[in-house]
Amino acid sequence: MDSSTLSIEKETSKKMSLTTKFDKQNMKRAVDNKVTKTVIEAKNLSVFYGMNQALFDVSMTIQGKQVTALIGPSGCGKSTFLRTLNRMNDLIRSVHVEGTILIDGQNIYDSKVDVVSLRKGVGMVFQKSNPFPKSIYENVAFGPRIHGERNRGNLDGLVEQSLRQAGLWEEVKDRLTANALSLSGGQQQRLCIARAIAVGPEILLMDEPASALDPKSTARIEDLIGELRKDFTIVIVTHNMQQAARVSDHTAFFYEGNLIEFNRTQHIFTNPTEEKTEDYVTGRFG
């Protein structure tokens, strides 16, 4: 048997294994997502950093209470796209955005939009955990306080609920006054997730949330994403294609600022439409 035949057989076997795994995942997700609605819609979105164009005419529809993964090589525009969803790119002076992003039918780039309110509804978790140098309790209570919550009983309830949703309550409930920086890396990232959801967002954006974590902590974050998708619409940037396959319902493949393909994750990884997508997910480049 020559090497090319062996390579084809290996690739076929890999796709069959992926298909079996996806079939099991989709059966479970079909039960969880009997009804979905469009929460995010990008229309002809282009983003410029000064004279350099980072995104080219991207259009995509993201469904509610599902996980959408953004994949592609470094510098392809996936993090830029993620940051347009809560206007984080506004913080960069040279950025210019063309096109439309609708969240629940509202154009978030309309001049009348309150960006503070927008970011309350669209939480963000960054690649590197960034807890405040405060207590665990104060980290989670910070957002609700900023938005006007002053009742201690309400804050206590929000802190507990958010830490439970982030899978951290049982580990920290007896040391809420301890400095958040005393937590492990994986715990700090889950604390940042708790802080993000404490203000009651509809959408969670995650920019490579597990890339700096060890395998055990990464698995814990992935399990947590599976739980959070019951309550939140999640958009995650990841370089780890196995992670995208494990956690997401839909996957978008970006390349050189263009959205090459967007489809159900099973389709992207087992039967992609575009040759560039197949080359990327099979490891021929990237």
pLDDT tens, per residue, the chain with 286 residues = 555 544 545 554 555 455 545 555 554 554 444 457 899 999 999 999 999 999 999 999 999 999 999 999 999 999 999 999 999 998 898 999 999 999 999 999 999 999 999 999 999 999 989 999 999 999 999 999 999 999 999 999 999 999 999 999 999 999 999 999 999 999 999 999 999 999 999 999 999 999 989 999 999 999 999 999 999 999 999 999 999 999 999 999 999 999 999 999 999 999 999 999 999 999 887 6
Helices (H), 72-214: 78-84, 115-121, 136-146, 152-165, 169-172, 185-197
Q: How many CB atoms lie within 10 A of CB 247?
A: 24
pLDDT of residue 91: 87
pLDDT of residue 27: 45
pLDDT of residue 31: 43
Angle in degrees, CA 13, 73, 14, rounded to 5 = 5
The answer to whether the beta carbons of residues 235 and 61 sit under 8 Å apart is: no
pLDDT of residue 284: 86
CA distance linking residue 77 with residue 252, whole number of Å: 11
CA distance linking residue 45 with residue 52, whole number of Å: 15
pLDDT of residue 95: 95
Residue 229, helix vs strand vs coil: coil
Q: Inter-axis angle of helices 185-197 and 136-146, to 10 degrees?
A: 20
The answer to whether the beta carbons of residues 106 and 168 sit under 8 Å apart is: no
CA distance linking residue 14 with residue 282, whole number of Å: 10
**Which among 206, 207, 262, 268 has a CA at the least distance from the CA of 63?**
262
CA distance linking residue 161 with residue 155, whole number of Å: 10
pLDDT of residue 1: 52
